[in-house]
Amino acid sequence: MKRRNFIKKASATGLGLVAVSSTFMSCDETKEDKKIVSPISEVIKPLVIATWKTDLAVETAAAVLEKGGTALEAVEQGCRIEEANEKGQSVGKGGLPDRDGDVTLDACIMNEKGDYGAVLGVKNIKHVISVARKVMEATPHVMLVGVGAEKFALSQGFKRENLLTEASKKAWEKWKIKSEYKPIINIENHDTIGMLAIDKKGNISGACTTSGLAYKMAGRVGDSPIIGGGLFVDNEIGGASATGLGEEVLKTVGSFLIVELMRQGKSPQEACEEAIGRIVNKPGKDFTNFQVGYIAVNKQGQTGAYSIHEWFSYNIYKNKKNQNIKSDYFNKV
């Protein structure tokens, strides 16, 4: 999940976000033909799409689907890979902590029935995506937060463990020297895995898991565990997921917006582009200092992805091939 530093690179070239559009693939369509929605008789399945360079997570989800597993099982298993990856400092164990030094995790999941489960601000439990699934399946609620979520996880047999690795502790200690906390969040401080899958039956599910913004205020929650923000799935239409500055995604209800735009006939690519447009076209909005990226899939298996700035990428598994693809983006010079 290596796409940090783009602001650094950007400032090195003035606005500096150099367009190399010929290398971009808008998933299923090029700029020229994107208005033409060709009739698709065959649904592309199974299919997995996930934010950032998440090869192993997507491969894991795809293996579940190829064996005939459900989209729900696939997205859960895929996300667990990143949660267990201690080197990834933005999801699960090893995630960068809040400004008080506590790693707190957010996650949510949606199935093909439109059911939803989420946990927010959970400490000491690594596989929060599985806790979110338990909330969805084993409680009458949709969201559990903080201590209550942890208590519930323990009651379900999840293991309590310290999520702060030495590397993340060191990074936090270094950050503490200046303790520069800006409400406009630096682009380097976030990453999230959002994943959408279509199984062999054609059902769609999605999942999203994160440690949120590094050095966030204690108690801060972003878009990732919020239905319609970091994730939305409607099995009749498609699904969408987000990464980046959660506050901006939440203010535009980004993932829900994308699914609704697809319902109105937009392709996943067009819908992602419009959702980014809703953020960057706000009067007076200075988007130079933050990133948002979206992925989407529709019921036919067409996909889309778009971000504000360069360096957003996503993994996609379709036709038995797993690839990392650089997303097209808005801010070209």
Q: Which of 292, 286, 288, 290 is nearest to 273 (CA)?
A: 292
List residues bridging with 120 in a β-sheet.
Answer: 145
Q: Do residues 333 and 16 make contact, with C-beta atoms less than 8 angstroms apart?
A: yes
Question: Which two structure tokens, joined as six digits, stand for 44?
Answer: 């592309």
Closer CB to ligand ASP, 112 or 287, in the complex: 287
Closer CB to ligand ASP, 312 or 317, in the complex: 312
Closer CB to ligand ASP, 134 or 190, in the complex: 190
Q: Which helix (H) or strand (E) holds 109?
A: strand 105-110
Q: Shortest distance, CB of residue 211 to ligand ASP, whole angstroms?
A: 8
Give the integer Cα–Cα distance in Å for 126 and 119. Answer: 12
Residues 303-321 as b/e (b if ≥16 CB within 10 A, e otherwise) read bbbbbbbbbbbbbbbbeee
Q: Shortest distance, CB of residue 315 to ligand ASP, whole angstroms?
A: 15
Is 192 noted as a catalytic residue in this protein? yes
Checking phi first, is residue 114 left (phi over 0); if not, alpha (psi -120 to 50) or beta?
left
Q: Shortest distance, CB of residue 221 to ligand ASP, whole angstroms?
A: 7
Q: Do residues 174 and 76 make contact, with C-beta atoms less than 8 angstroms apart?
A: no
Closer CB to ligand ASP, 67 or 282, in the complex: 282
Q: Which of 60, 70, 104, 192 is catalytic?
A: 192
Among all chains, which residue has been given the structure tokens 């290596």? 2
Which residues would be at the binding site for ligand ASP (CB under 6 A)? Answer: 90, 190-192, 210, 212-213, 222-224, 243-246
Q: Shortest distance, CB of residue 207 to ligand ASP, whole angstroms?
A: 14
Q: Report the catalytic residues.
A: 192
